[in-house]
Structure 1
Amino acid sequence: MILGLYEAHLPVRDLQRSIAFYKGLGLKLDHIVDEKIAFLWIVEEQSWLGLWQAVQVGLPYHPSIRHIAFHVSLDGLRESVAWLTERGFTPRKAFGFERTEPFVMPIAQYAHAKIHFNDPDGNSLEFITKLDNPLGAQDYMYLSEWETLINDRGFILK
């Protein structure tokens, strides 16, 4: 029945500033409604982001609201800090990691590698990719440490 995520929505203070920000991430503007709502394709014809201009944007952050994770390739994640920085976006620390570099959170037979950053309104954004966990690792670690651990044991990350 469910084939994937079609849309997500975020509140923003300045619609034009937010459109520029998300276009800078590579999203494509599809249309604007009443100069207060914009829809941008994340993956054209598959998934989009709705931005709603609002006076009340500063809700306290909680991961269940005001958060979107964008699926990226492993190679894209490896390059994410430089890619974000080149565009004037700042990766941020998350989950107790002190360095702003991608990190891995294992879950049983798989893991997620990710990096976090915010949009201009403080909405939490994330680049994420799913990884195999052939060793059954359970500890959170930086992606560079994960790759060393996996490669030293003769496995290849895909």
Structure 2
Amino acid sequence: MIKGLYEAHLPVSDLKRSIAFYQELGLAFDHQVEDRLAFLWIEKDKSWLGLWKTDKVELDYHPSIRHIAFQVTLEDLEQSVEWLRSKGYQPRKAFGFEPVEPFVMPHDGYAHAKIHFNDPDGNSLEFISKLDNPKKLTNRMYLSEWKKRSERNE
């Protein structure tokens, strides 16, 4: 029945600033409802992000209410730290990893490489790319180390 995620929503304090922020990340503005809600396409005609202007952005962070992970290519993820910084945004520490490069969280037959950062209201964002894990690596590590270990003939 479910084919994918169509929309997700985040609280923001300044709708105009947030629209500009997400457009700079590559989302395409679609429409605005009065001065309180805007929709931007993550993937045109497939999934979008709703931004709600509210004074409730000061809610304590919890990933279940203030977190979105954007799927990106591995190549884009490898450039993400530099790309974010070039736009004036700072990646942040997550899961014990300093934001010097993406890191990998492995699972049995796959893994996820990721980098975390925040929007202007402190909503948690991440760029993420799924990886194969044919060697069934189990340790979390930076992406550069993952690639070295994955390429070794052991």
Classify the TM-score, shorter chain.
Answer: over 0.9
CA RMSD between the two structures: 1.0
TM-score normalised according to structure 2 size: 0.97
| CA distance in structure 2 between the partners assigned to 1:149 and 1:129 by the alignment | 18
Q: Alignment identity in percent?
A: 65
Gaps of 5+ in 1: none
Q: CA deviation at 1:99?
A: 4.1
Gaps of 5+ in 2: none
| CA distance in structure 2 between the partners assigned to 1:98 and 1:116 by the alignment | 10
* Corresponding position: 1:63 with 2:97: no
| CA distance in structure 2 between the partners assigned to 1:153 and 1:65 by the alignment | 42
Residue number in structure 2 paired with 1:73: 73
Q: Which consecutive aligned stretches of 4+ in structure 1 deviate over 3 angstroms post-superposition?
A: none
Q: CA deviation at 1:98?
A: 2.6
| CA distance in structure 1 between the partners assigned to 2:35 and 2:59 by the alignment | 22
* Corresponding position: 1:101 with 2:87: no
CA deviations over 1:62-118 (Å, ceiling 9, x no partner):
121100000001101111111111111111110011343100000111000000000
| CA distance in structure 1 between the partners assigned to 2:99 and 2:28 by the alignment | 31
How many residue pairs end up in the alignment?
154
Any idea what SS the aligned residue of 2:10 has?
A: strand
Matches of residues 26-65 of structure 1 in structure 2 within 5 Å? 26-65=26-65
TM-score normalised according to structure 1 size: 0.95
Any idea what SS the aligned residue of 2:41 has?
A: strand
Q: CA deviation at 1:138?
A: 0.7
| CA distance in structure 2 between the partners assigned to 1:87 and 1:41 by the alignment | 20
Any idea what SS the aligned residue of 2:2 has?
A: coil
| CA distance in structure 2 between the partners assigned to 1:138 and 1:118 by the alignment | 28
